[in-house]
Amino acid sequence: MSVTASADGGTEPVRRRLRWSGLNSVSTLVASALTLLMVSRYVAPAEYGRVAVILATWGLLIQPIIWAGSLTMRFGPEELRARGVLAETVGTRLVFALPGLSLVVLGPLFLVLVRGWSPLLATMTAAWALASLAWDLMQWSAIAAQRFRLLSVASVLVKAAPLTVIGVHALVSFDISAEHLVGSTLLGTVAAALLLFAGLSPLVRRPRLSRALLARMWHYGRTALAGMPALAAIAWADPLLLDSFSSRAEVGRYQLAYPTTTVFATLGASFNAVLSPELVRANAANQPSVLDRYRRSHQPAGAVVLAMLGFGGACVAQPVVRALLPDSYAETATLVSLLSVGGGFLLAFWTLQPLVVAMDRMGSLLVGNIAQAVVNVLGDVGLGRCFGAQGVALANIIAWATAFVTLTLLLGRDGAASRRALAPVLGAGVLFTAVVWLPSLRPWAPLIGVTSMALAGLGLRRYVLRRGKPA
């Protein structure tokens, strides 16, 4: 079908929602790229390494608070379809954040007494936990309600927040510190959460607890809780491990490149943000053909097309990034290129997420996340010690390939997913890794990359936007 009921009760074509969701990703990408470009000009690699360590520590502390965010996307569309609000979904989801909120007190105390952090950083850590919960709730609510235009503006506020520090620096000269940058990120997150709340207030302003929904959420989300340590390791282990056996400046160069992974995750999530609620609604409406069509046709085609988009981007990234960054961040260009190959596997992995959500296959996702986390950490230690930041980037490629293969095989055991995309995605991933890693092949990388991206663009239009309608 070309037009379906949107999450908040209106009607809008799936293709249009995919485009708005994609626009959210593109706007976030532009804001991130501009921010990082300015950071490279005004912040020394060693100081940005401090930023990486602080943000990674904050990420580990808030993981127990935000781990259940996707419950809003899983159950929100059902409540919107039935009642037109998200009151029970938001109120019940808050229950899962309460145990983690104890870290608002214990985390900063540990950092001050054991790690030697300043009282200012400890205070910002506590504020970050609360701001992250608010942002998490509102972000997932916007996705459940398919409000991508509003989400785009809020996402830009978060990503571009450090530009305020650089703007002030242009007027009043001072040394930009890690505290300045993470503080601006904190303020940007608060502003974005307030903006989303203002726009979504008719849907979320009266949250209430539903015991029946609490039981359903727990049954669905307990595997995600078990997998929380793995997700924390995947998201935050790289800079902390690299910091243990490399210089703080190299950590800073890696941190400047790491948002490459975030960009690909955001792009993949933009498709998932439309397709998961669509498949959930189709299941609730007893339309099994919708899920079957996506499983048999659109998912494997989308996995190949999106992976090739990432792989092609890896080939053109290095010369472009190298031309934009100053000499002090020269290595970041190679890291961006390598992480983009991992991004191709990440995009392929995201095409499986709507099946996981709609079919309640969280156990399979848990196993895939654990396998990825183990490979990621072992690769960081092994390859990172040999090749430094580039070794950590290689570990990310292997880890995301492991996640894609593992989840595909697990879902494919009972026909829940097709395995047709495995061979082409893995084969292309190995080839493109060699192209961007080996000096003898790098001269050919731009031509190969442009060709790959052009073909992927044609495939994206054909399979994802035109034929890729869930029903």
Question: Which residue would you say has higher pLDDT here, 84 or 9?
Answer: 84
Asked whether residue 2 carries a pLDDT value surpassing 80, the answer given is no
Q: How many CA atoms lie within 13 Å of 307's alpha carbon, on the beta-carbon side? A: 31
Euclidean distance between CA atoms 349 and 201, whole angstroms: 33
Question: Which residue would you say has higher pLDDT here, 470 or 333?
Answer: 333
Asked whether residue 275 carries a pLDDT value surpassing 90, the answer given is no
Asked whether residue 53 carries a pLDDT value surpassing 50, the answer given is yes
Output the pLDDT for position 282: 78
Asked whether residue 470 carries a pLDDT value surpassing 60, the answer given is no
Euclidean distance between CA atoms 379 and 242, whole angstroms: 11
Asked whether residue 220 carries a pLDDT value surpassing 60, the answer given is yes
Output the pLDDT for position 426: 96
**Pair 261, 342: CB distance under 8 Å:** yes
Output the pLDDT for position 19: 66
**Pair 446, 316: CB distance under 8 Å:** yes
Pairing of strands 3-5, 11-13: antiparallel
SS3 470: coil
Asked whether residue 348 carries a pLDDT value surpassing 80, the answer given is yes
Averaged pLDDT for residues 429-440: 91
Would you place residue 214 in the very low, low, confident or very high pLDDT band (cuts 50, 70, 90)? very high
Share of the chain above pLDDT 90, in %: 55
Would you place residue 15 in the very low, low, confident or very high pLDDT band (cuts 50, 70, 90)? low
Euclidean distance between CA atoms 35 and 388, whole angstroms: 25
Asked whether residue 35 carries a pLDDT value surpassing 50, the answer given is yes
Only one residue has tokens 């494997």, namely 300
Buried b (16+ CB within 10 A) or exposed e, 424-460: ebbebbeebbebbbeeeebeebeebbeebbeebeebb
What CA–CA distances, in Å, run from 295 to 84, 107, 347, 368?
29, 43, 16, 18
Q: Determine phi and psi for 69, rounding to 5 degrees.
A: -55, -40
**Pair 456, 306: CB distance under 8 Å:** yes
Which tens digits make up the pLDDT trace of 157-199? 998 899 999 999 888 888 899 999 999 999 999 999 999 999 9
Which span out of 25-34, 56-65, 270-279 was modeled with the highest average pLDDT? 56-65
Euclidean distance between CA atoms 272 and 148, whole angstroms: 13
Averaged pLDDT for residues 420-434: 94
Number of continuous H segments (helices) and E segments (strands) in the chain: 21, 2
Domain ranges of the chain: 44-226, 230-471
Output the pLDDT for position 23: 67
Which tens digits make up the pLDDT trace of 349-378? 999 998 888 888 888 999 999 999 999 999
Output the pLDDT for position 363: 87
Asked whether residue 205 carries a pLDDT value surpassing 50, the answer given is yes
Asked whether residue 3 carries a pLDDT value surpassing 50, the answer given is no
Which tens digits make up the pLDDT trace of 78-136? 899 889 999 999 999 999 999 888 878 888 888 999 889 999 999 999 999 999 999 99
Euclidean distance between CA atoms 359 and 82, whole angstroms: 20
pTM of the full structure: 0.81
Euclidean distance between CA atoms 266 and 287, whole angstroms: 28
Share of the chain above pLDDT 70, in %: 92
Output the pLDDT for position 9: 41
Question: Which residue would you say has higher pLDDT here, 156 or 277?
Answer: 156
Which span out of 31-35, 204-208, 311-315, 375-379 was modeled with the highest average pLDDT? 375-379
Tokens of 41: 């000009």
**Pair 318, 334: CB distance under 8 Å:** yes
